[in-house]
Amino acid sequence: MSHPAPADPAAPAHTEDDIRRLVHGFYAKVRQDETLGPIFNARVADRDHHLQLLCDFWSSLTLGTGRFKGAPIPAHARIPDLSWPLFQRWLALFHATSAELRLPGLQAEVDAMAERIAAKLWSVWQDRAAIPSLPDTLPDGLQPYKDSPVFTPENLPDALKAAHSTKAGTWGLLKVHAGVLRFVLDDAPHTQVVLTAGQRVVIEPGLRHHVAFELPGSFQITFCRKHADT
């Protein structure tokens, strides 16, 4: 039997093999598409690596494997000449492929995720010229003294979702390990940044800020203070 009933009722009813079928089936369609095909063919040099990255992406999102370490937001912000009709074409091919899997649960899950991510990628692409940035390197002379727990959507304290600040003299270096996190400065300059795996942001002492997961993932904060205080 290709899909034995999982022992744990909360366990996903699909496997890595189903994800592979989805990704490979989808990219076979994309490559033959007259509008999307040329974009991928021009920009993806190592096709096997790209397919593996995409399998990791969907496996992380639907099976929680945490294998995906890429950065989709900047990857798409760099592509010239995207348009919403192009995303609609992408989504039409994706929905056609997910329907062919004959796994209604997985189909509904990935279709909804793809719609949400496409809307996000399109909105970031439109704003790409104005993508704000915040410092990602701590000033000299600071010593790390504590790491926070690894936060995920499940254990993220409410206090971090509302405006708060570090205590006087304490700096934070927030590192996103997986997923997509929005970091908002509630104090001037009132900027916000959307961070993906591997990206960091410096939290200055006393500056009020809060965070929200845009896509499930994890992050951690290293707290630092001036060397003399330690």
Footprint of ligand HEM (CB under 6 A)? 36, 39-40, 43-44, 53-54, 57, 70-72, 75-76, 79, 82, 86-87, 90, 114, 117-118, 121
Nearer Cβ to ligand HEM, position 78 or 164?
78
> Do 114 and 30 touch, CB atoms closer than 8 A?
no
* Nearest of 98, 114, 115 to residue 24 by alpha carbon: 98
CA dist 5 and 7 (Å) reads: 6
Nearest approach in angstroms of CB 95 to ligand HEM is 11
Nearer Cβ to ligand HEM, position 43 or 227?
43
Nearer Cβ to ligand HEM, position 86 or 202?
86
Nearer Cβ to ligand HEM, position 62 or 170?
62
CA dist 34 and 7 (Å) reads: 44
> Do 192 and 184 touch, CB atoms closer than 8 A?
yes
Region of residue 141 (left: phi > 0; alpha: psi -120 to 50; beta: else): left
Nearer Cβ to ligand HEM, position 71 or 184?
71
Nearest approach in angstroms of CB 146 to ligand HEM is 31
Termini Cα distance of the chain:
60
Nearest approach in angstroms of CB 89 to ligand HEM is 7
Nearest approach in angstroms of CB 196 to ligand HEM is 8
Nearest approach in angstroms of CB 22 to ligand HEM is 11
* E strand spans, the chain: 142-147, 171-185, 192-196, 200-203, 209-226
Nearer Cβ to ligand HEM, position 20 or 40?
40
Nearer Cβ to ligand HEM, position 7 or 42?
42
Nearest approach in angstroms of CB 105 to ligand HEM is 18
Nearest residue to ligand HEM on Cβ basis: 70
Nearest approach in angstroms of CB 176 to ligand HEM is 13
Q: Which residues have C-beta within 8 Å of that of residue 230, sequence separation ≥ 6? A: 143, 145
**What b/e readout covers 21-41, taking b as 16+ CB neighbours within 10 angstroms?**
bbbebbbebbeeeeebeebee
